[in-house]
Structure 1
Amino acid sequence: MKVRKADKNDIINIQIIAEAAWRPTYLHIIGEEQCAFMLEMMYSNDSLNKQFEKGIHFFILENENNQAMGFAAFEKINQQKGKLHKLYTNPFTKEKGAGTLLLETVKKLAISQGLLTIELNVNRHNSAYEFYLKKGFKVASEIDLEIGNGYFMNDYIMELDLKN
C-alpha cells in the first residue's frame, strides 16, 4: 500500500470510495435520506472542487495495483491546529492498516507544518470512534451541528496532541 497526494483528477476515486463506505457506516445511524443528502453535500463534483480550491489536502491510498482503496482530507486551521475532515477506506478492502497509513500521512504533514494538534469530528455512533481512541485521540467536546434540511451531525470533536 502507498499513499500519494491527490488532485482534482482523483475526484472520481474519492466519490467511489465515499459511496462504498458511507452507507455501510452511516445507514443504520442516520438513514438513507440523510446519507444521500450528506453525500451530495460533501462529495458532489462542485463540493470537492471547492475543497481542493480552498487548499484542503487530499491523499489517496492505493494498493499494489494502483487501485484507490481509501482517502483522507486535511486542512491547516491556524498556526497550531489542523483538521482531519475525512478518512475513509473501501469496506471491501481486506488489507489491514489502511486507515492507520492514511492517518500517519496526515500526522506527518501536520508535524511538518509545525502544528500541535489535529482535530476531527466523528459521529458519536460511528465505530471509527474506537479507532481514533486507539490512535491517541481524546474527546474534547460534543456537538450537534445543523447541516440543512433539518439534519444534524451528532459528533464528538476529538483531538490528537502532536507534541508527544
Structure 2
Amino acid sequence: MNLIFPKVSTPEEIAALSRLAAEIWQEYYVSIITLEQIDYMIQQYQSVSAVTEQIQEQGYEYYFMQRDDTPVGYMSVRVEEGKMFLSKFYIGKEHRGQGYASLAFAFLEQQCIERGINLIWLTVNRHNESSIAVYEKKGFRTVREQVADIGNGFVMDDFVMEKAIHVS
C-alpha cells in the first residue's frame, strides 16, 4: 500500500484541506458533539483562514495522507518544548480500517526520530471511543484529563494521551 504525506503549504492545498476537514468532521463528530459545536470548531480551527494562520504564525505543519492522487485524510503537528503535539489526525470514512493510521503513525515516529523528539502527545474527546482505541493500540496512554473552554459556550472535554518515541 502506497501512502505519501505531502506537506500542505500553498493556498490551493490549504483550501483543499479545509474542505476535507469539514467533510470528515461533519460525518464523524455528529455522534459525539452537537452540529453547532462542529460548525464552530471547523470555523475556528479548520477554515482556510485558521489553517493559514496556524501554518504561517503558530508553527503548525499540516500533511495530507494521500494514496495515488487522492487525499484519504490529514494530520497536523507542532513541535513544542521538545515534544511533538499531534493536533489533528483524521481519516475519511471510506478509508478507515485500511491500515492508513499505522502508516501515518510510522511517518510521525520517523519525523520524531529525525528531529530528536522522544514524545508525541495529543488530546482526544473522552467520548471518542473508537479513536481512543486506535491510539491505545498504537502505544499511547492516557496521562490526564482536561476541559478547555473554546468560546461560544463550548468546551473540549478531553483525555491527554502520550507515547514515548525511542530516539537512538
Question: Residue in 2 aligned with 1:116?
Answer: 118
> Number of matched residues?
162
SS at match of 1:122: strand
SS at match of 1:119: strand
The 8 Å contact of residues 20 and 91 in structure 1, kept in 2 or not, is answered as: no
> How far apart in 2 are the matches of 1:27 and 1:4?
28
In structure 2, runs of 5+ residues without a counterpart are none
SS at match of 2:51: helix
**Mapping of 1:77-156 within 5 angstroms?**
77-79=80-82, 81-93=83-95, 96-126=98-128, 127-156=130-159
Question: Residue in 2 aligned with 1:42?
Answer: 45
1:163 deviates by 2.4
The 8 Å contact of residues 138 and 158 in structure 1, kept in 2 or not, is answered as: yes
The 8 Å contact of residues 72 and 85 in structure 1, kept in 2 or not, is answered as: yes
Question: Residue in 1 aligned with 2:7?
Answer: 5
Pick closer, same or farther for the CA change 1:29–1:101 going to 2, 3 Å.
same
Describe the superposition over 1:40-69 as per-residue Cα deviations: whole angstroms up to 9, x where unpaired. 0011111101111122111111122x1111
- Of residues 13-22 and 108-117 in structure 1, the stretch that sits farther from structure 2 once superposed is 13-22
SS at match of 1:68: strand
> How far apart in 2 are the matches of 1:149 and 1:108?
38
SS at match of 1:30: coil
In structure 1, runs of 5+ residues without a counterpart are none
TM-score, normalization: structure 1? 0.92
The 8 Å contact of residues 13 and 68 in structure 1, kept in 2 or not, is answered as: no
1:17 deviates by 2.0
The 8 Å contact of residues 17 and 88 in structure 1, kept in 2 or not, is answered as: no
1:112 corresponds to which letter in structure 2?
Answer: E
- Of residues 5-14 and 34-43 in structure 1, the stretch that sits farther from structure 2 once superposed is 5-14
Pick closer, same or farther for the CA change 1:26–1:94 going to 2, 3 Å.
closer
Aligned-residue RMSD, C-alpha:
1.5
> How far apart in 2 are the matches of 1:85 and 1:150?
22
SS at match of 2:121: strand
| Percent identical | 27
